[in-house]
Structure 1
Amino acid sequence: MALRLNIVIGSTRPGRIGPKVAAWFHEFAKENSRFDAVLVDLADFGLPVYDEPKHPRLQQYEHAHTKRWAESVAAADAFVFVTPEYNHFAPPALVNAISYLSKEWAYKPAGLLSYGGVSGGLRAAQSEKQLLTSLRVVPIPEGAPVQMVSQYIGEDGVFRPSDSIASGARTMLDELHRWAEALKPMRG
């Protein structure tokens, strides 16, 4: 049975570019990896600012949105966060979503497909790595930053990356699979 890779769209704002980048990566992962790739859009979960009365480590969720989110995260063996950079930091919706849970994240690797302007979202990626490690997620060093993301979106609205971005994405997927296999006994 293939390992499950959740490709998480990390922005929920109107007019976001994330779904275009994530749609490309989802197809790319299905063709270029051994994962069962699943596209996960944070906007579909409607997570308000954290509203559970009990600490997430207890896993005693009261709200339907939290239960659905917990099921999605628990089902994954690895993650790729498709993330923009807002004010040199991770998008608030993604920080909130990560903070909703605790045990569901543990011992799973994560890659970051970041995008933005000149930095390619690398500052957001670094802030996310710090948050993820506190939940026992293993953020891998390999990533796929996309500088000046708008140049890769055609008039038809489709994201078409450069060869170097695709090469970075392929390397990230290969490493994610290695880590997901290696961490599997710890998730047992």
Structure 2
Amino acid sequence: MSEKPLRIAVILGSDREGRFGPVVARWFTERVREHTGGEPDLIDLKEAGLPTSLPAYGTRPQGEVAAAVAAVRERLRAADAFVVVTPEYNHSYPASVKNVIDWYNAEWHAKPVAFVSYGGLSGGLRAVEHLRPVFSEVHATTVRDTVSFHNAWGAFDGDGQPLDPEGPRLAAKLMIDRLLWWGHALQEARAKAPYAA
């Protein structure tokens, strides 16, 4: 297995006003730093500037839109593995997450995707289950283990730390371990033979 460090991109999926996602994403990126010693690339979809719809088939985005699309493309291309931090909206994931998947294709190929979800009673797990077949369609491999926060707004203190830290920390460690395994295996496979979708 390759010893080359993995580049992990953490995608913050919520773009709503008053969102809770940054609290969860900050907590998780700290777990990645703690567990891997690396610096994840946090891609905040609210700040990314991606347009909300794809251009007509065969046309290309222009101007600021093109620059935003290209900037995110380079960050996704550079990543060896992804973690999507997603809320659950109406039993599924937010449009901003579908948008970032649809704008790109080859950037996801033969790379692992893991999930950190949050929400009410379900903890965002229905959003995760809806995302798995979508990522499969862009030739990504999803990691089985997840981190989820049920009734998330009451699960963190004022400093952005879980009130019951041990369970989430263990879940994050296991999920990161699985992501690293898949990330290294697929990194090595891509180095041996380019992936053809």
Give the TM-score normalised by structure 1. Answer: 0.91
Displacement, 1:55?
6.2
Which SS does the other structure have where 1:43 is aligned?
coil
Quick one: which of 16, 20, 25 aligns to 2:23?
20
Segments of 4+ moved more than 6 angstroms: none
Gaps of 5+ in 2: 192-197
Write out per-residue CA displacement over residues 24-44 of structure 1, whole angstroms, 9 at most, x where no aligned residue.
111111011254422111112
Distance 1:14 1:29 in 2: 26
Gaps of 5+ in 1: none
Distance 1:55 1:173 in 2: 38
Instruction: Kindly name which structure, 1 or 2, has the bigger radius of gyration based on alpha carbons.
Output: 2
* Structural RMSD (CA): 1.8
Displacement, 1:157?
5.0
Which SS does the other structure have where 1:6 is aligned?
strand
Amino acid at match of 1:170: K
Distance 1:119 1:3 in 2: 31
Aligned pairs for 1:63-102 within 5 A: 63-102=66-105
Residues 1:163 and 2:166 are matched in the alignment: yes
Which SS does the other structure have where 1:114 is aligned?
strand
Q: Residues 2 and 36 of structure 1 are in contact (CA less than 8 Å); yes or no, is this contact kept in structure 2? A: no
Residues 1:107 and 2:110 are matched in the alignment: yes
Counting matched residue pairs gives 184
Residues 1:144 and 2:147 are matched in the alignment: yes
Amino acid at match of 1:10: G
Displacement, 1:89?
0.4
Q: Identity of counterpart residues, as a percentage?
A: 33
Write out per-residue CA displacement over residues 95-130 of structure 1, whole angstroms, 9 at most, x where no aligned residue.
111110000110110110000011110000011111
Which SS does the other structure have where 1:28 is aligned?
helix
Residues 1:125 and 2:138 are matched in the alignment: no
